[in-house]
Chains A and B, each alone.
Chain A
Amino acid sequence: MSKMLAVIKREYLQAVRKKMFIFMTLFFPVLMAALFIVPSLMVARGLGGKKVAVIDGTGALRDSFAHHIEPAAPDPKKALSGGNRGQLPQSLDVEYADAHGQSDLVKTSKPYLDRLYLDKKSENGLDAVLVIPSNAFEGSDARMIFYSRSSTDLFTQERLASVANRSIQRKRLTGRGIDPNVVDTLTREVPFDSVQLSRSGQQKKGSEANFIIGFIFAALLIIPSFIYGLETMRGIVQEKSERIVEVLISSMSPRQLLTGKILGVAAVGLTQVTVWLSLIAAVGAFGAASALMAGFDISQFLRPIVFVYFALFFILGYLTFVCIYAIAGAACNTDKEAQQLVAPIQMVMMLPWFIMFAIITNPDSPLSVALSLAPVYGPITMFVRTLVSEPPVWHILLSIAVSIATIAVFFYVTAKIFRVGILSYGKRPTIPELWRWTKVA
């Protein structure tokens, strides 16, 4: 027992002192949050100052393309959901050209189109050109044309089309003698909030935010498992390649060694989660307050029980993965070999991550339920389900039981393979050979 403690202590202290641990513990959550929130904000707001020319064959839409002043500090909640569609975003720099009465719009737009090819930094460069035909108001076959160098600039395209269409509709209506104020009233879009009802009767608002939080937590849950799993694998390979394992195995049984290693790594994971949860608790008040200022009330999405689930499923998923990596480490002699062995397994393990979108949007679909009750996939899928939905308690308990059983089986197999593999310095075993190893010793 004291031998195992020595191994646990060593694994723990060595891991916790590494820069990787400090980085993962302190900066990773921030990084993840930044990684998911910033792009959404950028999509919504930051077109990064695009320059666009509008060639208006009707000559009547100048006002619509003059800048509407957006609020200085835009509402991030709206930013996340896409903002006000009818308005021109400030980041679009529009150059308006009145082409009313020009017979050949193609010819008129030619110099503008040429400017699309200019260097982006040059003053005359353009990112896109929108051509509005002269018969836009009455022609039934009238079509606007959007030119740009990147066909993927859907956001600018959609925004410009939307602004142009709104103002064309407005002009049509006012052209029939309807009061502009009445037009505004009649065409005003009604915004909507999405509300998720939970069993306990609470209401959650803002599914976009839920979506982002789902991804952040899923990343926090799964990525450390991969990173520490790899570390464990490398550690075992190193012990083999440097023959430390001979000293270890001449002092304790392989099972003691493996148990010590895995418990040590588990303690590292627990420390990480504890620090994360304490950080959340410590900055909770501040964080919630600033989030509130930024437009959403975090407590709406995160029930306290979610943190308990997080810690629980984190450890379960973590131990499952660490066992898998320990097998690879014990079976191989070099990092490279081990990487090759785990690469395909890793892809299989990553499955829930690849279909995270489907799980978050449909947490109670048969697929999500099946994955959440499956070995290996259970912890992350189940956690995401508890985060965005409220699965039945028996689902949660069953998932936990399946995970514990999985870990027990993996541990048993790992110990067997460890016994044989840790001292085999030959070439990398094939999967059937690994299988045979579990039967000897």
Chain B
Amino acid sequence: MSVVLSVRDVVKTFGPVRAVDGISFTVQRGTITGLLGRNGAGKTTTIRMITGVFFPDAGSIEWLGSERDARDRIGYLPEERGLYRQMKVKEHLLFLAEIKGCRGSSVAPSAERWLKRFELWDKRDAKVEELSKGNQQKVQLIGTLLHDPDLIILDEPQSGLDPVNMLLVRDLLRELKEEGRTILLSTHMMAEAERMADDIILIHKGKIVLSGGLDEVRNSFGRNTLQIDYEGDGAFLEQLPQVKRAMIVNNGAELSLVDGADPQQILEATMGRLRIRRFELAAPSLEEIFIEQVGAETMESIR
């Protein structure tokens, strides 16, 4: 594996706010890297520095392994829709490729292929504003890929998509990865990152609080998380002395245990109160880790 992008000690301040405060990481070729964090953590600012929209106040961003102009190597899907409402779909796609230095005529066939794949071919001459939000998002996504980028940067790509389209995007990302492309995926949907990412970078208040391979990170938190599926009212689980924190959903719970707790005691406590279907000791989910790392204090302050 080789490094495509190296970000070193970058800082960006807006007035008194240090939006990004000394972040460093590398992105490996052919991987999906999840950039995680709460809203306002500094994800988008970091991405904007990588895409050249902002200059970092300090630090460096280095591109490796290609002579191609860095700007042209990136396919960037901004967080919010970034399309001209008045332009026609196909025309717009060609424009997006042209500003990356491609000839419109040379990408036209692949634009057609993509539009057909995303079921937008019959809307190719419609104006962007006539499309639904999900379809606009798909157009934007095609625009991100049309110029054959090495590094695809997606800021919340699934926003506005229905489950079918989300699946479509998920398959697409896997496919792009198999083609050897590198993907930087910014999201606050932990489940999504967990499904997709090879590596994660967790940013909080402008700083990296956690990074590394997904499995590595999860395992480093130890197998102290209980995942239980059951029938009945599990609200009492939260009150058990062995439980540090509980996420209780319908007919299921993820319990993070206090150090040294014996899961067996919990199983005993459930006897007669819940009908257990699954009882598993596992590494914590990304969501659990996320809350542990950045959310706990906030959750406390809300309570």
Contacts and interface: CB of A to CB of B under 8 A. Distances in A.
Interface of A: 2-3, 5-7, 9-10, 14, 238-239, 242-252, 423
A246 B51 contact: yes
B82 A252 contact: no
A250 B71 contact: yes
Contact of B54 (A7, A251, A423): A423
Given A3-B99, A247-B78, A250-B76, 18 more contacts: A2-B98, A2-B103, A7-B99, A9-B98, A10-B95, A14-B86, A239-B84, A242-B82, A242-B83, A243-B79, A244-B83, A246-B51, A247-B82, A247-B96, A248-B99, A249-B51, A423-B48, A423-B53
Closest 10 A-B residue pairs measured CB to CB? A6-B98, A250-B51, A243-B82, A251-B99, A244-B82, A247-B82, A246-B78, A243-B80, A250-B76, A249-B53
Given A7-B99, A249-B52, A242 B81 contact: yes
A252 B71 contact: yes
Nearest to A3: B99
Contacts of A244: 82-84
B244 interface: no
A86 to B, nearest CB: 61
Main secondary structure of the interface of A (DSSP, over half): helix
A21 to B, nearest CB: 13
Contacts, number: 70
Contacts of A243: 78-82
B152 to A, nearest CB: 12
B100 interface: yes
B104 to A, nearest CB: 8
Interface of B: 48, 51-54, 71-72, 74, 76, 78-87, 95-96, 98-101, 103-104, 143
B218 to A, nearest CB: 33
Nearest to A4: B99
A8 to B, nearest CB: 11
Contacts of A247: 76, 78, 82, 96, 99, 143
A244 B129 CA distance: 14
Contacts of B95: 6, 10
A244 to B, nearest CB: 5
Given A244-B82, A423-B54, A250 B101 contact: no
A244 B95 CA distance: 12
A373 to B, nearest CB: 40
Nearest to A10: B95
Nearest to A441: B55
A14 B100 CA distance: 20
B44 to A, nearest CB: 9
Contacts of A248: 99
Nearest to A245: B82
Nearest to B102: A2
Contact of A246 (B72, B76, B86, B103): B76
Contacts of A6: 95, 98-99, 104
A6 B96 CA distance: 9
